[in-house]
Amino acid sequence: MTVFGAYARYYDLLYRDKNYAGEAAHVDSLLRAHGKAPRTLLELGCGTGGHAFELAKRGYSIHELAFSEGDARSCRIGSTFDAVISLFHVLSYHQTNADQAAAFATARTHLKPGGVFVFDCWYGPAVLTDRPVVRVRRLEDDRTHVTRIAEPVMHATENIVDVNYHVFLRDKASGEQTEITEQHRMRYLFSPEIEAIASQARFELVYRGEWMTGQPLSFSTWGACFVARAI
């Protein structure tokens, strides 16, 4: 089972309080500011569709509402769009320079001339300043109780953080308990390298800012957001 195969069992519960509507509004504002009246979108890495459904409410036509399965580094669907979005740190799951370049190439291939690519990622200066620590989350709904322990290991020469999860799931009705271990390898990125990778894929960066707030990137900005325009 892949890491996301296990993750899917409790994903919606874990992120039930995520502000998808507010995040969709933020993406909408970025698209309106930097795109050319974008109405068609491709989402690379859609989770369970939270952003897609909220953007659809705002009038966007989104391919991911068809929920095609594919690899963001290599998928080709034969259509082009006004914009491509890749949210919730999908780019940080691409660990090598080759992976990053391939993901950008996928976005570029599916954009119309002048289309924009909106994405977020872990921002290197903040990760190194406010380093990840062990965290425990406990949450439940009417069926399941979840305890998740996250233990990070940093790899300085690779710009990678291994987030090692130990998850305990308890079915409230049956009392059955399940343990899951996962490792999420996350690449933290720096603005100059993003600019270089974007340029190689025939993009120009037209926006960079803190995710949701729009504040300038800083040593406290864990979540950085970028907009790249196809050239």
Q: What is the pLDDT of residue 8?
A: 66
Rounded Cα gap, residues 20 and 16, in angstroms: 9
- β-pair type (177-189, 160-171): antiparallel
State whether 63 and 157 are in the same domain.
no
DSSP 222: S
Tell me, yes or no, whether 137 and 194 share the same domain.
Answer: no
From CA 26, how far away is CA 213, in angstroms rounded?
A: 9
Residues 163, 92 share a domain = no
b/e per residue 69-94 (b: at least 16 CB within 10 A): eeebbeeeeeeebbbbbbbbbbbbbb
| Cα–Cα distance for residue pair 177/144, rounded to 1 Å | 10
Write out the residue range of the structural domain in which residue 141 sits: 126-187
Q: What is the DSSP letter of 175?
A: -
Biggest CA-to-CA distance, the chain: 57
Contact residues for 95 (Cβ-Cβ < 8 A; gap 6+):
158, 160, 185, 186, 187
- Under DSSP, the state recorded for 215 is P
Q: How many domains does the chain have?
A: 2
User: What is the pLDDT at residue 1?
Assistant: 40
Determine the Cα–Cα distance for residues 95 and 189; give it in Å rounded to an integer: 10
Task: Indicate whether 159 and 202 sit together in one domain.
Answer: no
CATH number where 158 lies? 2.20.130.10
117 and 139 share one domain = no
**Do residue 142 and residue 181 come from a single domain?**
yes
> pLDDT digit string (tens) for 118-128?
999 999 999 99
Alpha-carbon distances, residue 69 vs 13, 75, 88, 140 (angstroms): 22, 9, 18, 29
Q: CA 151 to CA 134: how far, in whole Å?
A: 5
Q: What is the mean pLDDT of each run of 10 residues along the chain (231 residues)?
A: 59 89 97 94 90 94 77 94 96 97 98 97 98 96 93 97 95 93 96 98 98 98 98 95
Regarding whether 148 and 56 lie in a shared domain, the answer is no
Please check whether residues 180 and 148 belong to one and the same domain: yes
Are residues 30 and 102 part of one domain?
yes
Query: How many Cβ atoms are within 10 Å of 213's Cβ, its own excluded?
Result: 11
Shortest CA distance to 189 belongs to which of 120, 123, 125, 131? 123
CA dihedral 101, 213, 138, 93 (to 10 degrees): 0
